[in-house]
Amino acid sequence: MKILLCFGTRPEAIKMATLYHKLKDSNFEIKVCVTAQHRQMLDQVLNFFEIIPDYDLDLMQPSQSLNGLSAKILSKIDKVLLLEKPDLVLVHGDTTTSSMVALAAFHLGIKVGHIEAGLRTYNKQAPFPEEINRQITSRIVDIHFTPTKQATQNLLCEKISRESIVQTGNTVIDALFWTISKIQSANYKNEEIEQLKKIVSKGKKIILVTGHRRENYGEGIKNLCKALLKISERDDVTIIYPVHLNPNVKDIVHELLSNNKNVKLVEPLSYPAFVWLMQQSFLVVTDSGGIQEETPSLGKPVLVTRNVSERQEGVDAGFSILVGTNTTKIIEGIQNILNNFTGFKNKMSPYGNGDASKKIVDYLLKLY
């Protein structure tokens, strides 16, 4: 059986990595196609997880429109699908790559499996364009690999057949555990981690910050920075902020937070360096989806600078707190965790225990 894995961004690559290796170990014929929707950040992950693509469409262009990217993916992936004629295409999550590749495969009568299916906010503007991408993908694909009970229920409510849904947990937990094991091995060397050790202040509580969502550009990023400035007045904290390269983020963050002794602005980090930094942190402030899934397994609280989240399971279980981009709420949320957090009573992550890739492979072995 031939399976084609298609992805284009760093988060997709991370969440497909362990599945790729499990599929290869199970004697499926595996081909990998990357669209390179993200170029540099994707390449770092491919190298770390030892994945060599069979096809690299190399579609990243500066400031390209979503419509332009979508058109190029549809056009370029068509040739790959016609050449390889896979029995199954696997896509991940909610990117432009996942929705357009799924559509292209559907047009050619090729079956599609969707990893991390069923996440919803039911607000088409948040996250944008991801919410609509994932809904479109769900109408196209044949097999839905859901990470949680809530994701499964979302699909059932949308009249998706129960027989086509396989609940597995989230493959990001597989990747997280694989990464921790690798960076803790005696022969692993990482210059980024060595540099981070120089700015991780002993005896201080590390606050790790990320932010990149389109809906937070402008006032949202400014409000976050104002909150961080207030928190930086505390002597017991060090704020470390790997700043996204998008000018909509980078310019504001550097303007408001540079030259502050308790705020360390660093370049975007490779995945292993970021995982190491999460391990050292007391809390995380983010608008990322994947980080909301990873932090419960690390025992770290996370403040989510979004008004809605498709990872509501983490919120309900107490691992995540939605604060939006209101400066006062962000400050109050950080202060409360810094002053009162002593650990989670419930240590069971709602996103699985690291065997999602195995469950997916086991299902495909039985199916085919």
Domain ranges of the chain: 2-170+352-367, 192-340
Residue 77 in 3-state DSSP? helix
Q: Which amino acid is at 56?
A: D
The pLDDT score that the predictor gives to residue 39 is: 80
Q: Is CATH 3.40.50.2000 correct for 2-170+352-367?
A: yes
Whether omega before 86 lies within 30 degrees of 0, making that bond cis, reads no
Whether 114 is a known active-site residue: answer no
Sequence-distant (6+) residues with CB within 8 A of 274 are 242
The candidate with the shortest Cα–Cα distance to 108, out of 80, 68, 145, 71, is 80
The pLDDT score that the predictor gives to residue 275 is: 98
pLDDT digits (tens, 9 = 90+) for 331-345: 999 999 999 999 998
Q: Is the pLDDT of residue 131 over 80?
A: yes
Residue 149 in 3-state DSSP? helix
Which of these is catalytic: 10, 12, 84, 116? 116
| Angstrom distance (rounded) from CA 138 to CA 133 | 9
pLDDT digits (tens, 9 = 90+) for 292-321: 999 999 999 999 999 999 999 999 999 999
Both tokens of 331, joined, read 């400050």
**Where is mean pLDDT largest: 123-127, 208-212, 236-240?**
236-240
Whether 92 is a known active-site residue: answer no
Residue 145 in 3-state DSSP? strand
Are residues 320 and 304 in contact, defined by beta-carbon separation less than 8 angstroms?
yes
Whether 235 is a known active-site residue: answer no
Whether 87 is a known active-site residue: answer no
Whether 244 is a known active-site residue: answer yes
Both tokens of 305, joined, read 């600078």
CB burial of residue 259 (10 Å; 0-12, 13-18, 19+): exposed
Are residues 216 and 305 in contact, defined by beta-carbon separation less than 8 angstroms?
yes
Q: Which amino acid is at 355?
A: D
β-partners of residue 303 are 285, 321
| Angstrom distance (rounded) from CA 231 to CA 250 | 20
Which of these is catalytic: 130, 131, 294, 313? 130
The pLDDT score that the predictor gives to residue 66 is: 94
The pLDDT score that the predictor gives to residue 368 is: 83
User: Does the predicted TM-score (pTM) go above 0.85?
Assistant: yes
Are residues 257 and 263 in contact, defined by beta-carbon separation less than 8 angstroms?
yes
The pLDDT score that the predictor gives to residue 201 is: 84
Pairing of strands 2-7, 29-34: parallel
Pairing of strands 205-209, 237-242: parallel
Whether 214 is a known active-site residue: answer yes
- For residues 192-202, average pLDDT: 93
Instruction: Name the percent of the chain lying above pLDDT 70.
Output: 100
Q: What is the DSSP letter of 214?
A: G
Q: What is the 3-state secondary structure (H, E, C) of 151-175?
A: HHHHHHHCCCCHHHEEECCCHHHHH
Q: Is the pLDDT of residue 226 over 80?
A: yes
β-partners of residue 114 are 91, 144
Which of these is catalytic: 87, 142, 234, 244? 244
Both tokens of 277, joined, read 């930094």
pLDDT digits (tens, 9 = 90+) for 13-64: 999 999 999 999 998 999 999 998 778 778 999 999 999 999 999 998 888 8
Residues 76-96: b if buried by 16+ CB within 10 A, e if exposed: bbeebbeebebebbbbbbbbb
Are residues 3 and 86 in contact, defined by beta-carbon separation less than 8 angstroms?
yes
- For residues 185-208, average pLDDT: 93
The pLDDT score that the predictor gives to residue 129 is: 94
pLDDT digits (tens, 9 = 90+) for 241-254: 999 888 888 999 99
Are residues 110 and 81 in contact, defined by beta-carbon separation less than 8 angstroms?
yes
Find the length of the chain. 368
Indicate the class that CATH gives domain 192-340. Answer: alpha beta
| Angstrom distance (rounded) from CA 120 to CA 136 | 12
pLDDT digits (tens, 9 = 90+) for 265-299: 999 999 999 999 999 999 999 999 899 999 999 99
| Angstrom distance (rounded) from CA 210 to CA 320 | 15
Are residues 124 and 215 in contact, defined by beta-carbon separation less than 8 angstroms?
no
Q: Is the pLDDT of residue 190 over 80?
A: yes
Q: How far is C-alpha 288 from the chain's CA centre?
A: 7
Are residues 44 and 270 in contact, defined by beta-carbon separation less than 8 angstroms?
yes
| Angstrom distance (rounded) from CA 24 to CA 20 | 6
- For residues 205-231, average pLDDT: 93
Which of these is catalytic: 12, 84, 94, 310? 94
Are residues 106 and 78 in contact, defined by beta-carbon separation less than 8 angstroms?
no
In the predicted model, what is the mean pLDDT of the chain? Answer: 95
pLDDT digits (tens, 9 = 90+) for 69-110: 999 999 999 999 999 999 999 999 999 999 999 999 999 999
> Does this chain's domain 2-170+352-367 share its CATH topology with 192-340?
yes
